[in-house]
Amino acid sequence: MTLTEIAQYAGEKIGKTDADTITFLEKSAALNYRRVWNFAPWRETITNSTYAITDIANRTVTLGTNVEAPLSVAWGDNELNPMDLATIISQDADLLDIDRVGTPQAYYFKGRNSSGIAEIDVYPALQTASTTTLKVIEKLQCLTRLSYVVDFPPSASAIADELRLPHVSHVVLALTHADALERERQYGKAQLVVQTANTDLSAMANYELSQVGGMKQITPSSLGELGLEEII
């Protein structure tokens, strides 16, 4: 299914398919798809990449365009420890000195740069040029089958493309239907739909985790009962 098809069907379920309602529900479907995407480490949402550090004077590594966040990082065959700046300061503040060089032992996820691309810093910086590569297991941004990013508001290309997670389309539909019911002030019915969707999604996530053996740093939790206004 596409986000537009989900929005159309959710509108039909409440008997409203006018342009304003469908536009609202397309936004709702996009947000719900993003919530489901981030709910668990679905195998379609995880990838791996290798990066070369060519500038030994620069500890920053820019990740791929569609990367949401790193999950695990290794330098060669050695896993690097994830650290935040506060931990670096408390354990070894000298690591922040660009003159501190050696073999990378830890990394810090910096978030996104001015171009919107994820970056990490490795600590310490490289002492000499090396042919060793940085191996990164990555969580992708929310994507469609043809790799359109599902943002908010969603682009015309994104809402017209098939979901990359087709097995969760019924959950996205249910959550979008719940938003449609809330828009009609049918809060009791919406709550029941969300509860059923949560149950289905948790069961699917548990099955996925049992199949892939689990992925650290992502822990499925209840979607709760957030309305569209609370998410935005």
Written in H, E and C, the secondary structure of 47-64 is: EEEEEECCCCCCCEEECC
Distance (Å, whole) CA 207 – CA 209: 5
Q: Which of 74, 62, 132, 67 is nearest to 106 (CA)?
A: 74
3-state DSSP call for residue 114? coil
pLDDT in tens, the chain (232 residues): 999 999 999 999 999 999 999 999 999 999 999 999 999 999 999 999 999 987 777 889 999 999 999 999 999 999 999 999 898 888 888 888 878 888 899 999 999 999 999 999 999 988 887 888 999 999 999 999 999 999 999 999 999 999 999 999 999 999 999 999 999 999 999 999 999 999 999 999 988 887 755 444 444 445 555 444 444 4
Amino acid at 5: E
CA distance 137 to 135: 7
In single-letter form, the type of residue at position 226 comes to L
**Measured CA distances, 25 to 1, 29, 174 (Å):** 14, 6, 12
> Using one digit for the tens of pLDDT, what is the confidence trace for 61-78?
999 999 999 999 999 999
pTM value is 0.83
Query: Is the CB of residue 123 less than 8 Å from the CB of residue 104?
Result: yes
Work out the angle at residue 229's Cα, subtended by the Cα atoms of residues 65 and 187, and round it to the nearest 5 degrees: 130
